[in-house]
Amino acid sequence: EAGVAQSPRYKIIEKRQSVAFWCNPISGHATLYWYQQILGQGPKLLIQFQNNGVVDDSQLPKDRFSAERLKGVDSTLKIQPAKLEDSAVYLCASSSLKGPSDRGYEQYFGPGTRLTVT
């Protein structure tokens, strides 16, 4: 079973520029998550999709961040314009709709995109 794929792996941009990240979840996984992980911190949920609908985007800075999941599969996360404090690793994760027993709530993470804003 192929894992969660993300691209690019690394990106360096100047502040006020825009950037986009792409995620391909594990085949058949209905739920997709985007997290922001700042150095030395745990991942923070930005947005959660179930199929192509948004479940939770309460922590997404909507004035500059946007995300979409077309056809309930791939997803893109965009930042426009970027700020210095957006420097972080952006992680995509996916999970199935299994119940809680036997690791049913497990989220599978991709390798992340490391963003540096200068």
Partner 1 sequence: QKEVEQDPGPLSVPEGAIVSLNCTYSNSAFQYFMWYRQYSRKGPELLMYTYSSGNKEDGRFTAQVDKSSKYISLFIRDSQPSDSATYLCAMIPTGSARQLTFGSGTQLTVLP
List contacts with partner 1 (CB under 8 A): 4, 31, 40-45, 48, 50, 55-56, 91, 93, 95, 100-101, 103, 105-112, 114
Query: b/e map of 51-74 (b: 16 or more CB within 10 Å)?
Result: eeeeeebeebeeeebbbebeeebe
CB-nearer residue toward partner 1: 104 or 118 = 104
Sign of CA dihedral 58, 74, 68, 115: positive
CB-nearer residue toward partner 1: 55 or 84 = 55
CB of 70 to partner 1, least distance (A): 21
Helix (H, G, I), strand (E, B) or coil at 56: strand
CB of 56 to partner 1, least distance (A): 6
CB of 19 to partner 1, least distance (A): 19
